[in-house]
Amino acid sequence: MRIVDAHVHLWDVEAFSVPWFRDELQLPRVASARMLRAAAADADAVVAVQVADTAREARWLLDVARQEPLIAATVLQYEPGAPHPLGATVDGSTERFAAMRAAVPQFAPDLSDVPGLDALASALSDDGKVLELLVRAEQLTGVAALAGRHPRLAIVVCHLGLGHALADGDWKTGVEALAAQPNAHAKVSGLLAPGRGDGELAEIVGTAFGTLGAERLMFGSDWPMSARTHAHSSVIETTRRALPSLTTAEQSAFWSGTAIRLYGI
């Protein structure tokens, strides 16, 4: 089965600022294309997601992607503040990207206080690009409302809108709200929390598949964040064990087809 890893990160904290990076996170100071290639030898292609929010980093990431055949698509990070609806991360040299991610878990549940969010959505829709959202579970209904306002825009929720958090009623309600919007999708990524066993993971993934369907979900490893506890091959195998029974077509959609379609790979 072909594998497109729809969520990996690259960085170099010596080359540009990564405000959230701290040594106690036990992450490498450089996550290079060479390291990615060695770690993700079982992937046919990857989607690289920007980790911070400056144009300097965006230019660096796009330069790396141009030189690394494994990187099939790039996602830049949205940073409000520029007159351009795509925000301050984008400048004249950073226009070659497949998607823009707004990392907004600190904002209101309905996302109404995210500066320029609807303008961003409209601009991406007009350009045929994807909007990714990093949100918490309580914001999933806000994501669904945004998807309803922009029906031509493909929206992708990172980490199922859950990550390491508890899959409670808010999350399940949010996933159901997403399912009502056919342009809403999600990544099965970033879920390998310490202490989360195979049974709990299978229940989370089963809920996502039962609600959204395989054609609206895609695999992501969250490398190198995930590498603190799992090798890339182990992320794939752990995810594989968590999947419900799928047809060949559904497996193809999840492991590669959805990402290929959305990101133009």
Q: What is the CATH number of the domain that holds 233?
A: 3.20.20.140
The residue type at 86: L
Task: Read off the pLDDT of residues 128-172 as tens digits, 9 standing for 90 and up.
Answer: 999 999 999 999 999 999 999 999 999 999 999 999 999 999 999
CA distance 163 to 141: 17
- Can you give the residue range of the structural domain that contains 247? 4-263
Nearest to 57 by CA among 3, 22, 14, 2: 14
Amino acid in position 75: V
Identify any residues that bridge with 48 across adjacent strands, giving them in sequence order: 8, 74
Report the pLDDT value the prediction gives residue 91, as an integer from 0 to 100. 84
**Is the pLDDT score of 238 beyond 80?**
yes
* Tally of domains in the chain: 1
Write the DSSP string, 58-76. Answer: HHHHHHHHHH-TTEEEEEE
**Once rounded to an integer, what is the mean pLDDT over residues 249-257?**
97
| Report field, pTM of the whole predicted structure over 0.85 | yes
